[in-house]
């Protein structure tokens, strides 16, 4: 379990403070508001959130020590516009993995460590916050964290939090505290109610599905003056390392990559009947799983791997599958396919169907995704997420019928089948939707105000 936050060290000098929701897909910052309370920082124009994305420009002059970087929407726009470089997303998912200290090619003959990518993004967030305050340097921070960075591995989970803390200290924060993201969301909900409730927070974002069963209410706020961590009000927390990016991967494998040969079978060999082709081995699937995983996409572009896949043309019964795969590798379209899968998931959630344009791979190529197909693709993940919600209530010793409110936050709670599946297991609970992208940051800010003031 994560280190629970407490009060800052006795005698700590006054300094500005911030709360940062460093999300898998989007990030946000909360700062103290004049007259009390907290406010969200406008990060890109009026937007209070920005995509957790970094673009490294490959055309940075060699004499420049570090490659030029773009962040957030500007990073995604550069990638979409075809600027030569490397887009990095879902960096949070690397925390706790063996990739953290590995280098990755960002173009122009340069390589960066994944750890440094995360540090650079936090430095940008701190810069944006300090630009907004125009006041003293921000030296204290509360960072949100999932209930589990890594499932069923306490040692790696602790390493993930330690890595994130080290990155925060490297960019200038002297005091670093953590709070669970679903608990932060509960604090945001608490600021809007007038009576005590038992709230099951479902914080389902890009990388994790986190739950917390928390007692909230105005009286509990007043009682919290001497215990700002509110640990007595946290009945249970639980989570699984499954969420939006996993849904995107399943959508891509189900609706896009079969057109490139995923799960295709090899043609009959000499002496085999055409009927035997139905039971022939499938083509190797490793390249397709890597294409569907953001942080592994660039590994498929290695020259040796591309050459090996090019030699496998005869493995494909349908030569169009191999041709499309090679176009994807030669044109480096992996991230574009992943983005198309994410867009299709959102369209299905809002409209019930999606038409996926794949003309970048082949003129006129497209794939249709229906709601039933999308639901089937993510069924196993949905079942595990619902089980995690029920396990949270069990750990708290609270029957599902005793939960007063289901509070939904996080980008993936826009997926209606997911919300309905969780809601059906807590039928008497009222359903409340928080700000999918900002409620955690707002709650982290309230917590930071409590512990640092």
- Is residue 420 in a domain? no
**Residue 391 falls inside a structural domain:** no
On whether the CB atoms of residues 360 and 328 are closer than 8 A, the answer is no
Whether residue 255 sits in one domain with residue 326: yes
Beta strands 53-57 and 85-89, pairing class: antiparallel
pLDDT in tens, 106-159: 888 888 999 999 999 999 999 999 999 877 889 999 999 988 888 888 999 999
Residue 266 is part of which domain span? Answer: 245-377
pLDDT of residue 306: 97
**pLDDT for 129:** 94
- Measuring CA to CA, which residue among 32, 61, 12 is closest to residue 448? 32
Indicate whether 93 belongs to any domain.
yes
| Section 292-321 average pLDDT | 92
Number of structural domains the chain divides into: 2
Q: What is the mean pLDDT of the chain?
A: 88
Average pLDDT score over residue span 14-21: 81
DSSP, res 318: S
- pLDDT higher than threshold 80 for residue 179: yes
Domain assignment present for 397: no
pLDDT band at 276 (very low <50, low <70, confident <90, very high): low
Q: For the CA atoms of the chain, what is the radius of gyration? A: 23
H or E element at residue 69: strand 69-71
Name the band, by pLDDT with cuts 50, 70 and 90, for residue 367: very high
* DSSP helix/strand/coil, 442: helix
In this predicted structure, the answer to whether residue 227 has a pLDDT above a threshold of 70 is no
Domain boundary among 331, 355, 377: 377
| φ, ψ dihedrals at 180, nearest 5° | -60, 135
Positive or negative CA dihedral for 338, 340, 346, 348? Answer: negative
Residues 372 and 258 occupy one common structural domain: yes
Q: Please tell me the predicted confidence (pLDDT) of residue 13.
A: 38
Q: Is residue 55 a contact partner of residue 83, using CB atoms and an 8 Å limit? A: yes
Q: Indicate the pLDDT class of residue 224, thresholds 50, 70 and 90.
A: low
Q: What are phi and psi of 239, to 5 degrees?
A: -175, 170
| Whether residue 178 is found in the same domain as residue 249 | no
Q: Please tell me the distance from the alpha carbon of residue 241 to that of residue 238, in angstroms, as a whole number.
A: 10
Length of the chain, please? 453
Reduced to 3 states, what is the DSSP secondary structure of residue 265?
strand
**pLDDT at residue number 274:** 58
What pLDDT was estimated at residue 229?
Answer: 61
Task: Give pLDDT tens digits for 388-437.
Answer: 999 999 999 999 999 999 999 988 887 888 899 999 999 999 999 988 88
Q: Is residue 415 part of a domain?
A: no
- Residue ending a domain, choose from 356, 377, 398: 377
% the chain with pLDDT above 70: 92
Q: Is the pLDDT of residue 197 over 60?
A: yes
Residue 353 domain flag: yes
Note the pLDDT of residue 118.
96
Task: Give domain status of residue 200, yes or no.
Answer: no
- Please indicate, yes or no, whether residues 252 and 321 belong to a single structural domain of this protein: yes
Q: Is the residue at 188 inside a domain?
A: yes
Q: Is residue 149 located within the same domain as residue 38?
A: yes
Judge if 176 and 91 occupy the same domain: yes
Please answer whether residues 34 and 44 qualify as being in contact, where contact means their C-beta atoms are separated by less than 8 angstroms: no
Same domain, 183 and 259: no
28 and 170 share a domain? yes
Neighbours of 413 (CB within 10 A): 23
- Answer yes or no: do 151 and 250 share one domain: no
Same domain flag for 89 and 149: yes
**Mean pLDDT, range 235-247, rounded to an integer:** 90
- pLDDT value at position 416? 82
- As a whole number of angstroms, the distance between CA 185 and CA 192 comes to 12
pLDDT confidence of residue 39: 93
- What is the per-residue pLDDT for 298? 80
The answer, yes or no, to whether residue 225 has pLDDT greater than 70, is no
Could you tell me if 184 and 308 lie in one domain?
A: no
Same domain, 154 and 260: no
CATH of the domain at 447: 3.30.420.40
Model pLDDT for residues 35-86, shown as the tens digit of each residue: 778 899 999 999 999 999 999 999 888 888 888 999 999 998 898 787 888 8
């Amino acid at each position: 379990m994560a280190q629970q936050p407490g009060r800052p060290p006795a005698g700590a000098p006054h300094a500005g403070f911030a709360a940062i929701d460093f999300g898998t897909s989007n990030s946000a910052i909360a700062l103290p508001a004049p007259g009390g309370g907290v406010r969200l920082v406008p990060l890109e124009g009026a937007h209070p959130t920005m995509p957790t994305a970094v673009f490294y420009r490959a055309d940075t002059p060699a004499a420049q020590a570090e490659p030029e970087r773009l962040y957030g929407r500007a990073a995604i726009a550069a990638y979409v516009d075809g600027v030569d470089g490397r887009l990095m997303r879902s960096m949070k998912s690397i925390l706790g993995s063996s990739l953290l200290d590995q280098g990755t090619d960002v173009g122009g003959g340069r390589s960066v460590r994944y750890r440094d990518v995360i540090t650079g993004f936090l430095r940008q967030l701190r810069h944006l916050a300090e630009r907004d305050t125009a006041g003293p340097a921000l030296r204290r921070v509360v960072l949100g964290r999932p209930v589990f960075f890594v499932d069923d591995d306490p040692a790696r989970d602790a390493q993930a939090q330690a890595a994130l803390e080290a990155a925060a200290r490297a960019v200038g924060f002297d005091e670093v505290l953590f709070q669970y993201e679903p608990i932060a969301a509960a604090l945001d909900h608490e600021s809007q109610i007038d009576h005590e409730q038992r709230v099951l927070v479902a914080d389902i974002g890009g990388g994790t599905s986190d739950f917390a069963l928390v007692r909230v209410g105005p009286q509990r706020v007043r009682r919290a003056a001497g215990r700002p961590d509110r640990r007595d009000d946290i009945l249970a927390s639980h989570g699984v390392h499954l969420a939006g990016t996993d849904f995107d991967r399943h959508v891509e494998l189900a609706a896009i990559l079969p057109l490139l040969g995923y799960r295709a079978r090899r043609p009959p060999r000499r002496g085999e009947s055409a009927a035997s082709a139905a039971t022939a081995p499938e083509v190797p699937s490793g390249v397709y799983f890597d294409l569907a995983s953001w942080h592994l996409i660039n590994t498929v572009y290695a020259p040796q791997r591309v050459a090996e896949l090019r030699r496998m043309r005869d493995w494909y019964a349908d030569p169009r599958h191999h041709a499309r795969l090679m176009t994807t590798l030669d044109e480096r379209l992996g991230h574009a396919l992943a983005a198309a899968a994410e867009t299709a998931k959102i369209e299905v959630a809002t409209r019930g169907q999606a038409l996926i344009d794949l003309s970048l791979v082949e003129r006129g190529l497209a794939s249709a995704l229906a709601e039933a197909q999308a639901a089937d693709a993510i069924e196993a993940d949905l079942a595990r997420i619902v089980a995690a919600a029920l396990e949270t209530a069990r750990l708290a010793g609270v029957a599902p019928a005793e939960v007063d409110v289901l509070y939904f936050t996080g980008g993936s709670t826009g997926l209606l089948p997911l919300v309905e599946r969780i809601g059906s297991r807590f039928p008497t609970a009222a359903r409340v939707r928080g700000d999918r992208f900002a409620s955690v940051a707002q709650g982290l800010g309230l917590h930071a105000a409590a512990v640092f003031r």
